[in-house]
Amino acid sequence: FEAKTFTELFDGTKALPWEECIGEKDAVIVAGHSIKSALFSVPDCQKIIKKSICTRLGEKYSVERLEETGTRYKVEFFIFKDRANLMIDVSGAPLHKRGYRPETVDAPIRETLAAAMVKLARPREDVLLWDPFCGSGTIAIEACLYAHNVAPGLGRKFAFEGLATFNQNRWIEIKKEEAAKIRTDVECRITGSDIDPSQVERARLNAEHACVTAGRALQSIGSDMHVERPDFIISDFKDIQAPYESGLILANPPYGERIGDAAQAEELYRDMASLFTDFEGWQFGFISSHQIFQQSIGKNASSKKLMKAGHLDTTLYIYR
């Protein structure tokens, strides 16, 4: 609705059927943004929207004051060019968070980006995948979940589970339907390695959480099958050797942005050229924000994919 004044913002908000989602004792928090609009004060907009929602709920439930002891509802507003959009957050934690990574490291790659890298690199079922800079293990874990066809976020919680309109029985049915699609007949040979023992331990914990979660989903449909976990070992990338004649190296080496500096990153890339010798016959995929990555590593990629990593513009370099 149009909202050039606080009165219009209040009335437009109050006209919406909040009682269809928000109960008498539930709590409401408001957050949002205003861009290129007459109502530019975000704190004032928050107060008006909160007051308007509470006014309507008070009238509908015949109470003067809401207890706000129940489910917390986050109402998001976005006002752009005097047009107000109001939404209830049904995700909770951002969707890129799959729910298996309570432990993390400096500059972790997003789960969704790691999953995109895996899909673009197209690993075959019978090919080993190795991440020699595994960190918290995200790439290896996403590759394992992808190979087993585990639905993203299968084990995490969502904000919509607390909504008044939430259908618990249907949600259980949906999770059972997705669990039934999990493949346990694939030969999953996925390894991650890192020079830092503490990161390897975190990766193992994250992988255990991810695969145990998938296992519980299988149990929910009466299956005793399980999802194999990736292997994680402590090793410098210079010391690893190809265990098979073919496979896929897929990695997120340090960029020199949040870890180290550009000079250190370029030196690392030059040293990484040894992987092409140590893993002869393998395919490779490296993501980097450095424009001179190919010059530093000494090889031009077979294909390149532009990708966003947080605020960074990065490129996935694929060598086939």
Axis-axis angle for helices 111-121, 138-147 (nearest 10): 60
Question: 5-14, 31-40, 102-111: which range is least confident on average?
Answer: 102-111
Residue that has been written with the tokens 């489910």 in this structure: 71
Identify the pLDDT of residue 104. Answer: 55
Q: Which amino acid is at 123?
A: P
Residue 107's pLDDT band, with cuts at 50, 70 and 90, is low
Identify the pLDDT of residue 257. Answer: 44
Q: Please, what is the average pLDDT of the chain?
A: 89
72-100: b (≥16 Cβ within 10 Å) or e: ebbbebebeebebebeebeebeeeeebbb
Q: What is the pLDDT of residues 276-316, one digit of tens each?
A: 999 999 999 999 998 899 999 999 999 999 998 878 899 99
Identify the pLDDT of residue 126. Answer: 65
In the chain, the DSSP E strands lie at: 27-35, 72-80, 83-88, 128-131, 190-194, 231-234, 247-251, 283-288, 303-309, 312-319
User: In whole angstroms, what is the distance from residue 248 CA to residue 320 CA?
Assistant: 9
Question: 82-86, 92-96, 302-306: which range is least confident on average?
Answer: 92-96
Strand order in the sheet with 303-309: 231-234, 190-194, 128-131, 247-251, 283-288, 312-319, 303-309
Identify the pLDDT of residue 127. Answer: 67
Identify the pLDDT of residue 156. Answer: 86
Q: What percent of the chain has pLDDT over 70?
A: 94
The mean per-residue pLDDT over the stretch 79-86 comes to 98
In terms of pLDDT, which residue wins out, 23 or 114? 114
Identify the pLDDT of residue 196. Answer: 93
Which strand (E) or helix (H) includes residue 213? helix 197-219
User: In whole angstroms, what is the distance from residue 104 CA to residue 107 CA?
Assistant: 9
Q: What is the pLDDT of residues 128-181, one digit of tens each?
A: 899 999 999 999 999 999 988 999 888 888 989 888 788 999 998 998 899 889
Identify the pLDDT of residue 100. Answer: 84
In terms of pLDDT, which residue wins out, 228 or 170? 170
Identify the pLDDT of residue 220. Answer: 73
Identify the pLDDT of residue 166. Answer: 87
Using DSSP, state whether 287 is helix, strand or coil: strand
Give the highest mean pLDDT range of 28-37, 186-195, 221-230. Answer: 28-37
Identify the pLDDT of residue 202. Answer: 92
* 223 pLDDT more than 90: no
